[in-house]
Amino acid sequence: MADFPFLLAMIVVPALGAAVVAALPTARAALARPLALAVSLLVLLLAVLATVAFDTGGDRFQLTTSVAWIPDFGVDFALGVDGIALSMLLLIGVLVPVVVGASWHETPPPRPGRGPRSMTAFWAWLLLLESLMVGVFAATDVFLFYVFFEAMLVPMYFLIGSFGGPNRQYAAVKFFLYSLLGGLVMLASVIGLYVVSNSSLGEGTFAFDALRQLEIDPNVQKLLFLGFFVAFAIKAPLVPFHTWLPDSGAEAPIGASVLLVGVLDKVGTFGFLRYCLPLFPDASRDLAPWVLALAVVGVLYAALVAVGQDDMKRLVSYTSVAHFGFIALGIFAFTTEAATGAVLYMVNHGIATGLLFVVVGMVIARSGSRRISDHGGLATRVPLLAGVFLLAGLASLALPGTNSFVSEFLVLIGSFPERPVHTVLATVGIVLAALYVLLMYQRVMHGPARGVLAEPEPEPDPVPDHAGPPDGGGATAVLTAPTPPRTRAVPDLSRREIAVVSPLVALVLLLGVYPQPLIDLVTPAVEATISDVGADPGGNTPQVGGTEGGTD
């Protein structure tokens, strides 16, 4: 079974699905949704089968496929996964069907004076995005990785721009330009790598395994590292490069937000692990203090900003910026525990934040507003939704027993011996996380009934006491009353919604109490990465200086 090209199939199946969905005639547009669900479930099945075929004790890269693509550039269409990439593929496999379910009743933004637009394009872009996301994690050729990395922007751009909130044009362009700029800087480094390989191997190549063997001059390494780093830091995003994420996360349709934060941004942290550390070990070690500083600043800054948000989607986006700080801390501490924690964090954050986004989307679907201040007292009407909301929130703040706890704990204990100051500072972020999550939960679910629960007047007057930013966008106005005269009936979770959240809820709890299989899956790849960077896999002092670029 290991001979079956799982990775290729996981790229081709959704791409074909996207083509079929896009080609559906208008009369058959209703088929698009079930088709998208079927395709995404098939990809999940493929991902699971690939995991079964993967041997955790085997080679570093498995399930490999390689075909010469552009011989003149030395580019191969080479696919293969290690444990880290495979865990990301599993995450994609799980999240995309959930997203399809969560977006089931998604409607395009209203158009004044015209009928609703068809959603076919949404499903087609979603499937194409899935295909490209698989490609970006499965590529073992740096050029191919770059191609997927950039091509991935196009479907996400259209998802945000065509189906997002009121400020979607701005968000879409900002998203695209930020990522494109980062990508182009990385392209310079990609070409630089090729040139270096050309001069030291006699033949230019983009194959990851060959590039890993190169001995690159430390100064050149620093330049090349910076090119990759900027792209990944924008993608991940680390703090000074993060401003696009709250805009995109807030304006994107819920399904796209889940994938944006849950998977797309992981390309950044994945890139640190896969490309920055093994290819530029000396530069990684030299520049690690700077990266760690950014990471810790990100944890604290984003958490503080999140506390002040009134827009729930923006809030969740900011929490993600804080989480990415933790992941970067785990990666650049250069210990196996911390890096394992970071990889688990990548998976767990996708599940927990994905769930939180989905639940927030369900709240928004009921109220029509993204503002926290437009909500209140919902828990009495929607106990199930409130329960899932709380669970998602607790997973996000890494309560023991939820999946995120394991990863956050590993990151912190793994980093502490190496970087005590950074670790202690980052721990403050955990406290802030409790603050923003619980405040949001409390304001939305408890307290006096507000917003959607209070029967809206036909023509509500503008409310002067809006505290939040003016871009919240929403139909309902705040009506504060000590005891609302009437409350509107708000439906609790429907059967579809229960089906959407239950896999994620199950994973949150399961990985919270029994993370071992995931740890076993990623540990060999993490150890290989940490030994590439020249640090002791046991988690002791990284070698300082020296030019021996990690040849394992």
Partner 1 sequence: MDGVSAPDLSFAALAPLLFVFGAAAVGVLVEAFAPRAVRHPVQVAIALTGAVGAFVSTLLLAGTREVTAAGALAVDGVALFLQGTIAVLGALSVLLFSERALDPARSAFVAVASVPAGSVRDRELATDERVQTEVYPLASFALGGMMLFTAANDLLVMFVALEVLSLPLYLMSGLARRRRLLSQEAAVKYFLLGAFASAFFLYGLALVYGATGSVRLSAIREAAVVDGGDTLLVLGLGLLVVGLMFKASVAPFHTWTPDVYQGAPTAVTAFMAAATKVAAFGAVLRLLYVAFGTAEWTWRPLVYALAITSMVVGAVLGLTQTDVKRMLAYSSIAHAGFLLTGVIGLGADGSGPGLAATMFYLLAYGLTTLGAFGLVTLVRSGEGEATHLSQWAGLAQRSPVVAALMALFLFALAGIPLTSGFTGKFAVFRAAIETGAWPLAVVALVTSAIAAFFYLRIIVLMYFSEPVPDGPTVGVPGLPTTIVLAVTAAATLVLGVLPGSVLDLADSAAVLVG
- How far is it, in rounded angstroms, from Cα 271 to Cα 286? 18
**Smaller CB distance to partner 1: residue 31 or 151?**
151
Structure token digits, residue 378: 């919902």
**Smaller CB distance to partner 1: residue 235 or 285?**
235
Structure token digits, residue 448: 């006096």
Q: Judge if the upstream peptide bond of residue 462 is cis by omega within 30 degrees of 0.
A: no
Give Cβ neighbours of residue 253 (< 8 Å, ≥ 6 apart): 103, 106, 122, 159, 160, 163, 164
Burial of 219 (0-12, 13-18, 19+ CB in 10 A): exposed
Measured over the CA atoms of residue 79, residue 82, residue 88 and residue 93, the dihedral's sign is positive
Closest distance of CB 56 from partner 1, Å = 33
Closest distance of CB 549 from partner 1, Å = 21
Closest distance of CB 133 from partner 1, Å = 15
**Smaller CB distance to partner 1: residue 173 or 438?**
173
User: Which amino acid appears at position 460 of this protein?
Assistant: P
Closest distance of CB 171 from partner 1, Å = 10
Structure token digits, residue 127: 């499937």
What is the per-residue burial (b if ≥16 Cβ within 10 Å, else e) of 168-187? bebbbebbbebbeebbebbb
**Smaller CB distance to partner 1: residue 135 or 262?**
135
Query: 473 in the Ramachandran plot: left (φ > 0), alpha (ψ -120 to 50) or beta?
Result: left
Closest distance of CB 111 from partner 1, Å = 6
Closest distance of CB 180 from partner 1, Å = 5
User: Which amino acid appears at position 185 of this protein?
Assistant: V
Structure token digits, residue 488: 């509107």
**Smaller CB distance to partner 1: residue 172 or 410?**
172
User: Which amino acid appears at position 168 of this protein?
Assistant: R
Asked if residue 334 lies in contact with residue 535, where contact means CB atoms within 8 angstroms, the answer is yes
Binding site for partner 1 (CB under 8 A): 69-73, 111-112, 117, 146-148, 150-151, 153-154, 158, 161-162, 168-169, 172-173, 176-177, 180-181, 184-185, 187-188, 191-192, 194-195, 198
Closest distance of CB 75 from partner 1, Å = 9
**Smaller CB distance to partner 1: residue 23 or 463?**
23
CA distances 24 to 19, 33, 36, 163, 243, Å, are 9, 11, 12, 19, 37
**Smaller CB distance to partner 1: residue 28 or 496?**
28
**Smaller CB distance to partner 1: residue 54 or 241?**
241
Closest distance of CB 173 from partner 1, Å = 6
Closest CA to 475 of 371, 368, 375: 368
**CA 370-178-189 angle, 5° bins:** 145
Q: Report the DSSP beta bridge partners of residue 77.
A: 67
Closest distance of CB 169 from partner 1, Å = 5
**Smaller CB distance to partner 1: residue 80 or 182?**
182
Closest distance of CB 184 from partner 1, Å = 4
**Radius of gyration (Cα) for the chain, nearest Å?**
23
Closest distance of CB 11 from partner 1, Å = 13
- How far is it, in rounded angstroms, from Cα 488 to Cα 217? 68
Which helix (H) or strand (E) covers residue 80, if one does? strand 75-81
Indicate the DSSP class of residue 272.
I
User: Which amino acid appears at position 424 of this protein?
Assistant: V
**Smaller CB distance to partner 1: residue 151 or 365?**
151
**Smaller CB distance to partner 1: residue 69 or 409?**
69
User: Which amino acid appears at position 315 of this protein?
Assistant: L
**Smaller CB distance to partner 1: residue 198 or 541?**
198
Closest distance of CB 73 from partner 1, Å = 7
Count of CB atoms situated within 10 Å of the CB of 495? 7
What is the per-residue burial (b if ≥16 Cβ within 10 Å, else e) of 288-310? beebbebbbebbbbbbbbbbebb
Indicate the DSSP class of residue 400.
B
Dihedral Cα 516, 265, 130, 273, nearest 10 deg: -50
Closest distance of CB 70 from partner 1, Å = 5
**Smaller CB distance to partner 1: residue 41 or 180?**
180
Closest CA to 175 of 246, 109, 104, 105: 246
